[in-house]
Structures are given as C-alpha cells and as structure tokens.
A and B are shown apart, each in its own frame.
Chain A
Amino acid sequence: MNWSKYSAPQAFYPLAGRLIPWFAVVAVALMGVGLYMGFFVAPTDFQQGESYRIIFVHVPAAWMSMFLYVVMAIWAGVGMGLNARLSFMMAQAIAPTGAMFTFLALLTGAMWGKPTWGAWWVWDARLTSELILLFQYAGVMLLRTSIDDMRRADRSSAVFSLVGVVNVPIIYFSVQWWNTLHQGASVSMSTGSKMAATMLMAMLIMTVAFWFYSIAVILARVRCIVVERDSLPVWDEKPAVIQEAVEAR
C-alpha cells in the first residue's frame, strides 16, 4: 500500500474523516474506565485523602502537554525538510490542543496545590516550566495568526517551535537549579514507584485516553484547516456545510 499518497491534503481529508470516530470512541471508553478506576477503585491516599484523585487528570494532562509540543515540533521539522503542506497543517492543528492540556495541567495543579500545599501557586520548577510552555504555545499560535501569507506563517511558526523545543529542557533545568538555590526540596511530586498499582494503572489508562482524544481532535482540526486553506474544494466526501456553501455560490 502506498502511504505517501496520504501526504496530499485531498487524500488525507477523507482518511482523517474515517479515522476520527474510532479514535473518539476509544478515547471516550478509556476515559470512562480510567475515571471509574481513579475515583472508585483506587484506594484513598493515607496522607492526602481524597484530594489526590485529581492526579488522574493532572498528570496525564501534563504529560500530553509536553509530548504534544515535541510532536508539533517534529511535524514542523518534517514540513521544513520535505516542504510538505500537510505537515504544517498538522503542526497548526496540534498547537491549540497542546495549549489546552498545558492550561488544564496548570489549573488542576492549582486545585490540588491549595488543599495539599496550602497555596494555589508555588514557584516550583515544574509549575514554572509548565507556565513557560504555555507561553511558548501562545507564541507559536500568535506568530501564525499575525502573518497573513500562509506559506510564511507556516514556516515562521515552524522555526519558532523548533527553537522552543531546544529551549524547553534548558528552561526546565534552569528553573530547577534556580529553585533549589532559593528553597530546599520542600515540595516534591515524585511518588512514582511508591504508588499503588491501581493508581498507576488508572493514570496510564487516562494518558492513553487523552492521547486518543488528542488524535481525534487534531484530525478533526486538520480537516477544518484543509477546507479553510483550499477554499471549498469539490471532493468526494463533503460535509453538509460545504455542500450547502458550494451550492449557494
């Protein structure tokens, strides 16, 4: 089978349309299982009580926020290297979902921090680098929307996301060292191996659920971008809205 034909937006559009329901169904099913396990099966934490249960949303969201930035940068790099329009469209489609997960991670972190640390926000290394990640997502999206020429918008935001991907680990370590200078390790979230098996399982299921959700949403957004950029093409599979718009012309 010749996969490269799907690098053309016209061929990818119907393929994405067929894939979206599958990813969406799996995402919803896994989210149901993961949340049930997280809220009802997993044991209560003996120190934090019930409030710890937000980690079943918080940790997967934080993982996805970083993972999606790297994926976005990879698509941007592929777009620069191969000059492929669809890659830039993928990068464009990933940014809002990544920013959403970053915001979700910060929001749920604040909700967890208030009862646990007694503060909505502390200048912890992870919080700070997550905040800066949000700024970088905002930068990528703002740069794109400020440039009218689509080709330049694609390539400029690709360069910026690639610069950002070099910077994210440096930022993470810089704030970590900066933080240890100012205050001791009073705050640590690393409970990884000490975690109960059901907790870990619920968290991993939620991560896969978020992953599938991201794929479904990103594919749907790519379809919108394809339609937007190629100004109502006449393809085999047309959403009703486009059909009406074409007929109205």
Chain B
Amino acid sequence: MNRSSMWEAVSGIVKRDLLLAMRRRSDAAMSVFFLVIVASLFPLGVGPEPAVLRTIGPGVLWVAALLACLLSLSRVFTADYVDGALEQMVLVPQPLAVLVAGKVFAHWLISGLPVVLLSPLLGLQFGLDGAPLGVLVLSLLLGTPTLSMIGAIGAALVLGVRGSGLLVALLVLPLYVPVLSFGAGAVTGSMAGIGGEANLSLLGASLVLSLFLAPWATAAAIRIALE
C-alpha cells in the first residue's frame, strides 16, 4: 500500500466526520454550552471574590474542559458501531490505528477546538489576564488533543456495553490526571511568576506519547469490541 492511499483514507474519514457533525450541529454545540454553564456555576457556588476566582480559575476551567471532552466521547465511535461503518473500517487495507487517529482528530476539531477558542472568554470571567490567559489557551491547545486521544481508548472499550456512559467516565478520568495537573499547573505557574514553560513542555510530551500509543490501543479495543 502506498502512502497516498493512506493519506486519502485519513482525510476522507476526517471530511466525513466533519460533514456528519455539520449535519447535526446541535450535538457539537452541546459540549461547548456544557463547558460555559459548568464554568459559570463555580462563581455562583464559591462566591464572587476576585482573588478566590483567580486562584481556582485554572483548575475549574481545566476540569470543565475535561468533562466537556468526556461527555462528547460517546460520539466518536458509537454511531459507526451501530450502523456497521466501523466494521468496514476494520476491513479496509489501511491500518486501523491510522484511521482511528483520523477519527480522533475530527473529534478534536468538533469538540476540542471550540473549547480552546472559547477559553480566553471564560478565563476573563475568572479574572485571568495577560500572560496567564495566553498560557491557558496554549495549555488547552496542547492538552485537549491528548484528552481526545486517551478518551478514544475508553470510548472504544465500552462500545455496546451496558451503562457505557458512566463506565467510560470511570475508566478515562483517572487517566486524565497527568494532563489535568500539567495543564492547570502551567497556568498557576505563570500566575505565580515562575512561568508555565516546564508544564507546557510536559503537555507537549504527553501529546506526542498519546499520539504514538493511543491509536494503537484504540484499534485493539475496537477489534475486541467487533469480534
């Protein structure tokens, strides 16, 4: 198999998933609204003191982004699993792991990128500005693809399993801990004046590692679910 056919298959999958998402725009909008609502509930819960909000802001926004990603995970494979398209993907000559990477990339474009683009606005709500706000956006830009990558493993493992919505949360959330602590750590580090570069580098390393390992594990999980 030559390289161009592999590239065509991946770009075909990305285009198809984006097209499907465009046809059901409310689905994609839901996770963004969820993020905004969760982030807005925290000031109502803990009180409006700017100092408190600034302290908890990075953590709250990161946890909200993480939950928004979690809620959208069921959309990555479920529809294809139900209508049999996933089985066709297993049968095509291109390696399944590469196709999976395409699907996860499309998922990130639909549910991760809006979170990144919206984060400066939410950061301002929590009193972040200047350099920490930039670090927040950058950390989400590096971190949310990792969340999608790791989440896809969980989503593939629970395909067609009863109670899959809760189960995927229980499986995936512990795996999200490093990304959360690096991401929120980058922002708090930049607020404390020691800079977020170390944590941003670690986020980049996590992304590279997950790009390398996660599609492979996801492909294994899909094969197990389909056999």
Contacts and interface: CB of A to CB of B under 8 A. Distances in A.
B227 interface: yes
Interface stretch (B26-34, B89-97, B137-145, B161-169): B161-169
Nearest to A80: B220
A143 B175 CA distance: 15
Contacts of B198: 177
B5 interface: no
Interface stretch (B70-78, B106-114, B178-186): B178-186
A155 to B, nearest CB: 4
B12 to A, nearest CB: 27
Contact of B221 (A151, A156, A178): A156
A63 interface: no
Nearest to A135: B174
Given A136-B174, A139-B174, A181-B185, A146 B224 contact: no
B109 to A, nearest CB: 24
Interface stretch (A18-26, A27-35, A111-119, A163-171): A163-171
Interface residues of A, number: 28
Overall SS of chain B's interface: helix
B189 A170 contact: no
A160 to B, nearest CB: 6
A243 interface: no
A165 to B, nearest CB: 12
B221 A159 contact: yes
B181 A160 contact: no
B160 to A, nearest CB: 9
A160 B185 contact: no
Given A139-B170, A156-B157, A160-B171, A175 B221 contact: no
A143 B158 contact: yes
B157 A178 contact: no
Interface in B179-227: 181-182, 185, 188-189, 192, 198, 202, 206, 213, 217, 220-221, 224-225, 227
B177 interface: yes
B153 interface: yes
Nearest to A155: B224
Contacts of B177: 132, 171, 174-175
30 contacts: A80-B220, A136-B174, A139-B174, A142-B170, A143-B158, A143-B161, A143-B167, A143-B171, A146-B162, A146-B163, A146-B164, A147-B161, A151-B227, A152-B224, A152-B225, A159-B153, A159-B217, A159-B220, A159-B221, A160-B153, A160-B157, A160-B171, A162-B217, A163-B175, A170-B178, A170-B206, A171-B174, A171-B177, A174-B177, A177-B202
Interface of B: 153, 157-158, 161-164, 167, 170-171, 173-175, 177-178, 181-182, 185, 188-189, 192, 198, 202, 206, 213, 217, 220-221, 224-225, 227
Closest 3 A/B residue pairs (Cβ): A174-B178, A178-B181, A135-B174
Given A143-B157, A177-B181, 15 more contacts: A139-B170, A139-B174, A142-B170, A146-B162, A146-B163, A159-B221, A162-B217, A163-B153, A170-B178, A171-B178, A174-B178, A174-B182, A174-B202, A177-B198, A181-B189
